[in-house]
């Protein structure tokens, strides 16, 4: 990741934390770390926005650990709560926090809990308490309901990938959890994107004069080195085109994003039939199966992982050279998170988007939001010849996963409450 011009010494960190950071291989703070750590150490609420791979975990992890070390409270009560949207991100954050605590005089206990695995095992792991809990909202509510963890003493709340936690998919669970927290607490919210609607919702969580830190691009090269390509293709030709690109460039590690769980299985199966080791990755897989897929990709047993958007956040795949948008994401913000899976930790990467006739207007919206035009390309033998006639495994015929072409959860809720048809539906 891009390093800033400041030093960790200048941030006011304890020697034990500076030693831990050095052992993690960091020589200087990134832009988001240099901007967010000082106000966080002062106890200020912070809203931090920075691109993927910019070091946001340390931006909240360092002040979290230092504050715990200075408090020296009665151990085995939960004083810091870190909420994340996915299992993979929970595990990644937990590992980082445990590494930061290595050299503290009294290292706090870090518990990591998420769905998809036995709740009984996690209840056993929480016996005796934990000063830091890293959790997905649904599983945490389950554990609270079983009296396995109490949130009465939480003094620091962190939302990692805050935009996802604040959108309609998690808003209800997050609201229930915040009611269980003490009203006086510090809040640190971090994400790569903060759409206006999400910022409005964040304002309902009783933040006190938050410091806003924006570090999406930095002069020291902190912006990910991602080359974007946009290839025009008819929907039925996307899988053959994907095979062609993999073979032509000899990619050994590829992450492909599609719109639905069915599409992950369908596209992966098509690739396997043509001799390309591929695996599906989606939310309905068990945690063991998801971990196995990622390990097989890392070891080279699988070349292609075909995933839904759940893989767009918190998933770190070392040395991932390319990301392919087989279906476009449903929102421009998700595009940022998807392509951010490549070009991490200072590496360069390639992001390719398949543009069908139906998805062209949506990609123009993505370009507008990211402030960059991507030249359209055509690959010989795969040129589009007309409007799409239905897609292999796409979310809906002609949509390419584009937001607005099918009813969203919000539309369905409106329809149910008001008894009125959703947008695009006849009366």
CA distance 287 to 216: 32
Integer CA distances (angstroms), 185 to 71, 112, 371, in order: 14, 21, 36
Residue 357 contacts residue 388 (beta carbons within 8 Å): yes
Tokens matching residue 218? 């930095």
Helix axes 137-145, 171-178, angle to 10 degrees: 40
The 3-state DSSP class for residue 48 equals: strand
| 168 close to 95: Cβ distance less than 8 angstroms | no
Q: Supply the pLDDT for residue 314.
A: 61
Alpha-carbon Rg for the chain, nearest whole angstrom, is: 22
Q: Nearest-CA neighbor of 245 among 259, 234, 260, 229?
A: 229
Q: Distance from CA of residue 268 to its chain's centroid?
A: 22
Tokens of 260: 């639905």
Distance CA 374, CA 390 (A): 25
* CB-based contacts of 386, cutoff 8 Å, min separation 6: 234, 357
CA distance 368 to 384: 24
One digit per residue, the tens of pLDDT, for the chain of length 427 reads 445 557 898 999 999 999 999 999 888 898 899 999 999 999 999 999 887 777 889 999 999 999 988 776 566 789 999 999 888 889 989 999 999 999 998 899 999 999 888 899 999 989 988 999 999 999 999 999 999 999 999 999 999 988 888 876 788 898 899 899 998 899 999 987 777 766 666 666 768 888 998 875 443 445 568 899 999 999 999 999 999 999 999 999 999 999 999 999 999 999 999 999 999 998 888 878 888 998 899 899 999 999 998 766 667 777 788 999 999 998 887 888 888 888 666 678 899 999 999 999 999 999 998 888 999 999 999 999 865 444 344 433 334 444 444 444 444 544 454 444 444 443 3
Residue (of 205, 216, 187) closest to 336 by Cα position: 216
Asked whether the beta carbons of 371 and 216 are under 8 A apart, the reply is no
Structural class in CATH, domain 225-403:
alpha beta
Which residues have CB under 8 Å from 188's CB, separation 6+?
36, 40, 45, 46, 48, 60, 63, 64, 156, 157, 158, 159
Provide the b/e sequence for 335-364 (b: ≥16 CB within 10 Å). bbbbbbbbbbeebebbbbbbbbbbbbebbe
pLDDT value, residue 344? 67
* Three-class DSSP labels, 207-237: CCCCEEEEECCCCCCCCCEEEEEEEECCHHH
Q: How far apart are CA 168 and CA 147, in angstroms?
A: 27
Whole-prediction pTM: 0.68
Q: Where in the chain is the domain with CATH 3.40.50.300?
A: 8-215, 225-403
Give the span between the Cα atoms of 405 and 98, in whole angstroms: 44
The CATH topology of domain 8-215 is Rossmann fold (3.40.50)
Find the helix or strand (DSSP H, E) in which 335 lies: helix 332-339
CA-based nearest residue to 232, from 387, 372, 411, 39: 387
Output the pLDDT for position 50.
80
Distance CA 73, CA 327 (A): 49
Return the H-helix or E-strand segment holding 355: strand 348-355
Consecutive H or E run containing 305:
strand 304-307
- For residue 345, the model assigns a pLDDT of 60
- Dump the DSSP string for 168-207: TTTHHHHHHHHTTS-SS-EEEEEES---HHHHHHHTTS--
Strand-pair partners of 113 = 135
- Contact indicator for 100, 108 with CB cutoff of 8 Å: no
Residue 46 and residue 32 in contact, taking contact as beta carbons nearer than 8 Å: no
């Amino acid at each position: 990741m891009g390093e800033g011009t400041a030093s960790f010494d200048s941030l006011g960190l304890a020697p034990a934390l500076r030693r831990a950071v050095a052992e993690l291989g960091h020589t200087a703070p990134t832009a988001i770390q240099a901007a967010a750590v000082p106000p966080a150490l002062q106890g200020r609420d912070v809203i931090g926005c920075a691109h993927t791979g910019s070091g946001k975990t340390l931006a909240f992890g360092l002040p979290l650990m230092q504050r715990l070390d200075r408090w020296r409270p009665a151990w085995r009560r939960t004083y810091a709560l870190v909420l994340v949207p996915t299992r993979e991100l929970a595990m990644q954050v937990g590992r980082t926090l445990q590494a930061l605590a290595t050299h503290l005089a009294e290292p706090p206990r870090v518990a990591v809990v998420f769905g998809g695995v036995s709740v009984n095992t996690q209840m056993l792991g929480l016996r005796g308490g934990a000063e830091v809990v890293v959790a997905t909202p649904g599983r945490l509510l389950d554990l609270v309901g079983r009296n396995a963890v109490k949130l009465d003493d939480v003094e620091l709340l962190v939302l990692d990938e805050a935009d996802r936690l604040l959108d309609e998919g998690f808003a209800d669970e997050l609201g229930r959890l915040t009611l269980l927290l003490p009203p006086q607490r510090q809040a640190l919210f971090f994400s790569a994107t903060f759409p206006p609607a999400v910022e409005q919702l964040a304002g309902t969580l009783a933040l006190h004069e938050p410091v806003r830190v924006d570090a999406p691009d930095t002069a020291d090269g902190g912006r990910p080195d991602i080359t974007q390509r946009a290839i025009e293709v008819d929907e039925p030709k996307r899988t053959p085109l994907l095979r062609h690109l993999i073979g032509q460039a000899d990619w050994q590690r590829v992450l492909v994003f599609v719109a639905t769980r069915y599409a992950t299985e369908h596209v992966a199966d098509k690739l396997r039939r043509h001799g390309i080791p591929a695996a599906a990755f989606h939310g309905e897989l068990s945690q063991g199966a998801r971990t196995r897929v990622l390990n097989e990709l890392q070891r080279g047993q699988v070349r292609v992982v075909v995933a839904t958007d759940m893989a767009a956040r918190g998933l770190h795949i070392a040395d991932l050279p390319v990301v392919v948008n087989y279906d476009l994401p449903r929102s421009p913000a998700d595009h940022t998170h998807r392509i951010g899976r490549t070009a991490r930790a200072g590496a360069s990467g390639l992001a390719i988007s398949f543009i069908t006739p139906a998805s062209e207007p949506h990609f123009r919206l993505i370009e507008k939001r990211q402030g960059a035009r991507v030249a359209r390309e055509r690959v010989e033998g795969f040129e589009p010849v007309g409007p799409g006639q239905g897609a292999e495994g796409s979310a809906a015929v002609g949509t390419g996963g584009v937001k607005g072409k099918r009813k969203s959860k919000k539309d369905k809720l409106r329809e149910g409450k008001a008894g009125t048809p959703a947008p695009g539906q006849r009366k």
